[in-house]
Amino acid sequence: MALKILVTVKRVEDPESKIRVKPDGSGIVTDGVNYKMNPFDEIAVEEGLRLKEAHGGEVVVVSIGGEKSATEIRAALAMGADRGVLVRHDGPLDPMVVSGLLAKVAELEKPDLVLLGKQSIDDDQNQAGQYLAARLGLPQATFASKQESLESEAEQKKVPGLKLAADGKRLEVVREIDGGVETLDVSLPAVVTCDLRLNKPRFASLPGIMKAKKKELKELQAAALGADLTPRVVIRKLAEPPARKGGLKVADVEELWKKLHEEAKVV
Protein backbone atom coordinates (compact mmCIF):
# COMPACT_ATOMS: atom_id res chain seq x y z
CA MET A 1 0.00 0.00 0.00
CA ALA A 2 3.00 2.20 0.25
CA LEU A 3 2.79 5.22 -2.00
CA LYS A 4 5.55 6.63 -4.15
CA ILE A 5 4.85 10.33 -4.35
CA LEU A 6 6.55 12.81 -6.67
CA VAL A 7 6.24 16.40 -5.46
CA THR A 8 7.27 19.42 -7.53
CA VAL A 9 8.84 22.53 -6.01
CA LYS A 10 9.71 25.78 -7.75
CA ARG A 11 12.09 28.52 -6.65
CA VAL A 12 10.15 31.80 -6.80
CA GLU A 13 10.41 35.37 -5.59
CA ASP A 14 9.34 35.66 -1.95
CA PRO A 15 5.68 36.79 -2.04
CA GLU A 16 6.57 39.38 0.62
CA SER A 17 9.13 40.97 -1.71
CA LYS A 18 8.26 44.12 -3.59
CA ILE A 19 8.25 43.27 -7.29
CA ARG A 20 9.35 46.07 -9.62
CA VAL A 21 9.63 46.04 -13.39
CA LYS A 22 12.88 47.11 -15.08
CA PRO A 23 12.52 50.47 -16.86
CA ASP A 24 12.79 48.82 -20.30
CA GLY A 25 10.07 46.28 -19.46
CA SER A 26 12.36 43.32 -20.19
CA GLY A 27 12.05 41.70 -16.79
CA ILE A 28 11.77 42.34 -13.08
CA VAL A 29 14.39 43.87 -10.83
CA THR A 30 15.99 40.99 -8.96
CA ASP A 31 18.38 43.02 -6.76
CA GLY A 32 17.35 42.72 -3.14
CA VAL A 33 14.64 40.18 -3.89
CA ASN A 34 14.55 37.05 -1.72
CA TYR A 35 13.71 33.64 -3.07
CA LYS A 36 11.86 30.75 -1.51
CA MET A 37 9.77 27.70 -2.29
CA ASN A 38 6.51 28.50 -4.07
CA PRO A 39 3.89 28.59 -1.25
CA PHE A 40 1.51 26.23 -3.07
CA ASP A 41 4.38 23.76 -3.47
CA GLU A 42 4.98 23.84 0.31
CA ILE A 43 1.38 22.65 0.66
CA ALA A 44 2.06 19.90 -1.87
CA VAL A 45 5.17 18.78 0.04
CA GLU A 46 3.23 18.79 3.33
CA GLU A 47 0.44 16.70 1.82
CA GLY A 48 2.97 14.24 0.42
CA LEU A 49 4.58 13.88 3.84
CA ARG A 50 1.21 13.32 5.53
CA LEU A 51 0.26 10.64 3.02
CA LYS A 52 3.60 8.92 3.58
CA GLU A 53 3.21 9.13 7.35
CA ALA A 54 -0.29 7.63 7.12
CA HIS A 55 0.34 4.94 4.51
CA GLY A 56 4.09 4.48 4.15
CA GLY A 57 6.11 5.03 1.00
CA GLU A 58 8.53 7.58 -0.37
CA VAL A 59 8.38 11.30 -1.14
CA VAL A 60 10.61 12.37 -4.03
CA VAL A 61 10.99 16.11 -4.62
CA VAL A 62 11.69 17.41 -8.11
CA SER A 63 12.58 20.91 -9.25
CA ILE A 64 13.55 22.37 -12.61
CA GLY A 65 15.98 25.28 -12.79
CA GLY A 66 19.50 26.49 -12.17
CA GLU A 67 21.81 25.23 -9.43
CA LYS A 68 20.17 27.54 -6.91
CA SER A 69 16.96 25.51 -7.14
CA ALA A 70 18.80 22.93 -5.02
CA THR A 71 18.04 25.27 -2.08
CA GLU A 72 14.30 24.69 -2.44
CA ILE A 73 14.79 20.94 -2.82
CA ARG A 74 16.88 20.94 0.39
CA ALA A 75 14.09 22.90 2.09
CA ALA A 76 11.61 20.16 1.16
CA LEU A 77 14.08 17.47 2.28
CA ALA A 78 14.39 19.35 5.60
CA MET A 79 10.61 19.17 5.98
CA GLY A 80 10.96 15.40 5.68
CA ALA A 81 10.99 14.40 2.02
CA ASP A 82 13.24 11.41 1.23
CA ARG A 83 15.29 12.45 -1.78
CA GLY A 84 15.52 15.08 -4.48
CA VAL A 85 15.88 15.35 -8.24
CA LEU A 86 17.09 18.60 -9.79
CA VAL A 87 16.52 18.92 -13.51
CA ARG A 88 19.21 21.42 -14.49
CA HIS A 89 17.95 23.97 -16.99
CA ASP A 90 19.08 27.57 -17.08
CA GLY A 91 16.81 28.75 -19.90
CA PRO A 92 13.34 30.24 -19.63
CA LEU A 93 10.53 27.95 -18.52
CA ASP A 94 6.88 27.86 -19.47
CA PRO A 95 4.19 25.32 -18.56
CA MET A 96 4.80 23.33 -21.76
CA VAL A 97 8.54 22.98 -21.09
CA VAL A 98 7.94 22.26 -17.40
CA SER A 99 5.26 19.64 -18.03
CA GLY A 100 7.37 18.05 -20.77
CA LEU A 101 10.34 17.67 -18.40
CA LEU A 102 8.14 16.52 -15.50
CA ALA A 103 6.62 13.87 -17.77
CA LYS A 104 10.15 12.55 -18.46
CA VAL A 105 10.94 12.48 -14.73
CA ALA A 106 7.64 10.71 -14.07
CA GLU A 107 8.55 8.09 -16.67
CA LEU A 108 11.83 7.48 -14.83
CA GLU A 109 10.43 7.54 -11.30
CA LYS A 110 7.04 5.90 -11.97
CA PRO A 111 5.22 7.55 -9.05
CA ASP A 112 1.75 6.54 -7.84
CA LEU A 113 0.91 10.18 -7.33
CA VAL A 114 2.27 13.49 -8.57
CA LEU A 115 1.54 16.46 -6.31
CA LEU A 116 2.00 20.03 -7.53
CA GLY A 117 1.04 23.45 -6.25
CA LYS A 118 -1.97 24.70 -8.19
CA GLN A 119 0.11 27.57 -9.53
CA SER A 120 3.45 29.25 -8.98
CA ILE A 121 3.20 32.75 -7.61
CA ASP A 122 5.58 34.24 -10.19
CA ASP A 123 3.91 33.31 -13.49
CA ASP A 124 0.48 32.62 -11.94
CA GLN A 125 -0.32 30.42 -14.93
CA ASN A 126 -2.03 27.50 -13.17
CA GLN A 127 -1.34 25.08 -16.02
CA ALA A 128 1.57 22.71 -15.36
CA GLY A 129 -0.44 20.05 -13.49
CA GLN A 130 -3.17 19.92 -16.11
CA TYR A 131 -0.64 19.72 -19.00
CA LEU A 132 1.26 17.01 -17.16
CA ALA A 133 -1.87 14.93 -16.57
CA ALA A 134 -2.80 15.22 -20.24
CA ARG A 135 0.71 14.30 -21.41
CA LEU A 136 0.79 11.23 -19.18
CA GLY A 137 -2.83 10.28 -19.89
CA LEU A 138 -3.57 10.40 -16.15
CA PRO A 139 -6.64 11.61 -14.28
CA GLN A 140 -6.32 15.05 -12.70
CA ALA A 141 -7.77 16.64 -9.60
CA THR A 142 -6.93 20.33 -9.49
CA PHE A 143 -7.31 22.80 -6.60
CA ALA A 144 -7.37 20.07 -3.92
CA SER A 145 -8.75 21.35 -0.66
CA LYS A 146 -10.62 19.96 2.31
CA GLN A 147 -13.79 20.77 4.14
CA GLU A 148 -12.28 20.83 7.64
CA SER A 149 -10.89 24.26 8.48
CA LEU A 150 -7.20 24.87 9.05
CA GLU A 151 -8.05 25.25 12.75
CA SER A 152 -9.76 21.83 12.94
CA GLU A 153 -8.67 18.84 15.01
CA ALA A 154 -7.94 16.82 11.86
CA GLU A 155 -5.53 19.55 10.78
CA GLN A 156 -3.83 19.63 14.21
CA LYS A 157 -3.30 15.87 13.92
CA LYS A 158 -1.89 16.29 10.40
CA VAL A 159 -4.48 14.00 8.83
CA PRO A 160 -4.06 13.97 5.03
CA GLY A 161 -6.77 15.89 3.20
CA LEU A 162 -6.44 13.44 0.30
CA LYS A 163 -8.12 10.15 1.25
CA LEU A 164 -6.50 6.95 0.02
CA ALA A 165 -8.94 4.06 -0.58
CA ALA A 166 -8.49 0.88 1.48
CA ASP A 167 -7.10 -0.98 -1.53
CA GLY A 168 -4.53 1.77 -2.08
CA LYS A 169 -5.56 2.16 -5.70
CA ARG A 170 -7.77 5.21 -5.62
CA LEU A 171 -7.66 8.64 -4.05
CA GLU A 172 -10.58 10.80 -2.99
CA VAL A 173 -10.04 14.52 -3.52
CA VAL A 174 -12.19 17.42 -2.32
CA ARG A 175 -12.08 20.42 -4.65
CA GLU A 176 -13.19 23.99 -4.18
CA ILE A 177 -15.08 25.07 -7.26
CA ASP A 178 -17.55 27.80 -8.17
CA GLY A 179 -20.76 27.51 -6.23
CA GLY A 180 -19.78 24.62 -3.99
CA VAL A 181 -17.52 21.77 -3.08
CA GLU A 182 -16.89 18.81 -5.35
CA THR A 183 -15.52 15.40 -4.47
CA LEU A 184 -13.69 13.33 -7.07
CA ASP A 185 -12.33 9.82 -6.89
CA VAL A 186 -9.30 9.25 -9.12
CA SER A 187 -7.53 6.00 -9.86
CA LEU A 188 -3.78 5.99 -9.22
CA PRO A 189 -1.46 7.01 -10.70
CA ALA A 190 -2.92 10.51 -10.76
CA VAL A 191 -1.95 14.17 -10.80
CA VAL A 192 -3.24 16.39 -7.98
CA THR A 193 -2.68 20.15 -7.67
CA CYS A 194 -2.94 21.71 -4.22
CA ASP A 195 -4.89 24.79 -3.14
CA LEU A 196 -4.38 26.91 -0.06
CA ARG A 197 -6.78 25.26 2.33
CA LEU A 198 -5.49 21.72 1.91
CA ASN A 199 -3.14 22.02 4.88
CA LYS A 200 -0.80 24.22 6.87
CA PRO A 201 2.76 23.26 5.91
CA ARG A 202 5.13 22.33 8.74
CA PHE A 203 8.35 24.17 9.47
CA ALA A 204 11.60 22.30 9.06
CA SER A 205 13.12 21.27 12.39
CA LEU A 206 16.81 21.74 13.16
CA PRO A 207 17.47 17.97 13.07
CA GLY A 208 15.45 17.92 9.83
CA ILE A 209 17.75 20.53 8.32
CA MET A 210 20.82 18.58 9.44
CA LYS A 211 19.47 15.33 7.99
CA ALA A 212 18.54 17.02 4.72
CA LYS A 213 22.19 17.75 4.01
CA LYS A 214 22.89 14.02 3.80
CA LYS A 215 19.89 13.05 1.72
CA GLU A 216 20.31 12.11 -1.94
CA LEU A 217 19.96 14.95 -4.44
CA LYS A 218 20.39 13.71 -7.99
CA GLU A 219 21.02 16.08 -10.89
CA LEU A 220 19.64 15.43 -14.35
CA GLN A 221 20.43 17.57 -17.37
CA ALA A 222 17.26 18.85 -19.03
CA ALA A 223 18.85 18.59 -22.47
CA ALA A 224 19.49 14.87 -21.93
CA LEU A 225 15.87 14.01 -21.15
CA GLY A 226 14.59 14.34 -24.71
CA ALA A 227 11.88 16.93 -24.00
CA ASP A 228 11.25 20.02 -26.13
CA LEU A 229 12.95 22.92 -24.32
CA THR A 230 11.64 25.72 -26.54
CA PRO A 231 9.35 28.02 -24.56
CA ARG A 232 6.09 28.75 -26.38
CA VAL A 233 4.86 31.35 -23.94
CA VAL A 234 7.10 34.28 -24.79
CA ILE A 235 6.98 37.44 -22.71
CA ARG A 236 7.26 40.46 -24.98
CA LYS A 237 6.91 43.21 -22.41
CA LEU A 238 6.33 43.70 -18.70
CA ALA A 239 4.73 46.76 -17.13
CA GLU A 240 3.51 47.81 -13.74
CA PRO A 241 -0.26 48.26 -13.56
CA PRO A 242 -1.53 51.82 -13.17
CA ALA A 243 -1.50 52.81 -9.51
CA ARG A 244 -4.86 53.31 -7.87
CA LYS A 245 -5.42 56.76 -6.44
CA GLY A 246 -6.76 56.45 -2.94
CA GLY A 247 -6.03 57.68 0.50
CA LEU A 248 -8.96 60.02 1.13
CA LYS A 249 -10.29 59.74 4.68
CA VAL A 250 -13.76 60.67 5.83
CA ALA A 251 -14.62 61.72 9.36
CA ASP A 252 -17.76 59.72 10.06
CA VAL A 253 -20.57 57.63 8.61
CA GLU A 254 -22.50 60.77 7.73
CA GLU A 255 -19.72 61.98 5.44
CA LEU A 256 -19.10 58.50 4.04
CA TRP A 257 -22.76 58.15 3.14
CA LYS A 258 -22.77 61.55 1.44
CA LYS A 259 -19.70 60.65 -0.61
CA LEU A 260 -21.15 57.32 -1.68
CA HIS A 261 -24.62 58.65 -2.33
CA GLU A 262 -23.95 62.04 -3.91
CA GLU A 263 -20.36 61.99 -5.21
CA ALA A 264 -19.70 58.41 -6.30
CA LYS A 265 -23.40 57.62 -6.75
CA VAL A 266 -22.86 53.93 -6.07
CA VAL A 267 -25.61 53.60 -3.45
Partner 1 sequence: MSNVLIIAEAFNGQVRRASLHALGAGQQLVQRTGGALHVILLGKGIGEAARSLAAYGATVHAADHDALAAPLAEAHAPVVAELARAVGASFVGAAATAYGKDLTPRAAALLEAAMATEVTAFAGDGAAVLFRRPMWAGNVLADVELSTAVKAFTIRPTEYAPAAAGAAGEVKAAAVAVPALKTRYVSFQEVKSERPELTEARVVVAGGRGTKGDFKPLEALADALSGAVAASRAAVDAGWVPNDWQVGQTGKVVAPDLYVAAGISGAIQHVAGMKGSKVIVAINKDPEAPIFQIADYGLVGDLFKVLPELVAKVKASR
Q: Which of residues 54-93 bind partner 1 (CB under 8 A)?
A: none
Residues in the chain: 267
Min dist CB 219 to partner 1, Å, is: 27
Interface with partner 1 (CB under 8 A), residue from 67, 107, 185, 216? 185
**Of 56, 73, 65, 42, whose CA–CA distance to 5 is shortest?**
56
Min dist CB 242 to partner 1, Å, is: 9
Contact 97, 66 (CB under 8 A): no
Q: Which is nearer to partner 1, 47 or 82 (CB)?
A: 47
Alpha-carbon gap, residue 190 to 171, rounded angstroms:
8
Report 106-145 residues binding partner 1 (CB under 8 A).
Answer: 119, 121-127, 130-131, 133-135, 138-143, 145
157 binds partner 1 (CB under 8 A): no
Local structure of residue 242 (DSSP, 8 states): P
Q: Which is nearer to partner 1, 184 or 209 (CB)?
A: 184
Burial of 202 (0-12, 13-18, 19+ CB in 10 A): middle
Contact segment (CB under 8 A) with partner 1 among 69-77, 208-216, 218-226, 253-261 equals 253-261
**Of 152, 158, 184, whose CA–CA distance to 171 is shortest?**
184
52 binds partner 1 (CB under 8 A): no
Q: Which is nearer to partner 1, 110 or 232 (CB)?
A: 232
Report 24-43 residues binding partner 1 (CB under 8 A).
Answer: 28
Contact 79, 103 (CB under 8 A): no
- Total residues at interface with partner 1 (CB under 8 A): 79
The one-letter amino acid code at 178 reads: D
Contact segment (CB under 8 A) with partner 1 among 3-11, 69-77, 171-179, 216-224 equals 171-179
Q: Which is nearer to partner 1, 5 or 97 (CB)?
A: 97
Q: Which is nearer to partner 1, 224 or 238 (CB)?
A: 238
Alpha-carbon gap, residue 72 to 40, rounded angstroms:
13
Pairing label, strands 170-177, 140-145 = antiparallel
Pairing label, strands 83-88, 57-65 = parallel
Q: Which is nearer to partner 1, 214 or 237 (CB)?
A: 237
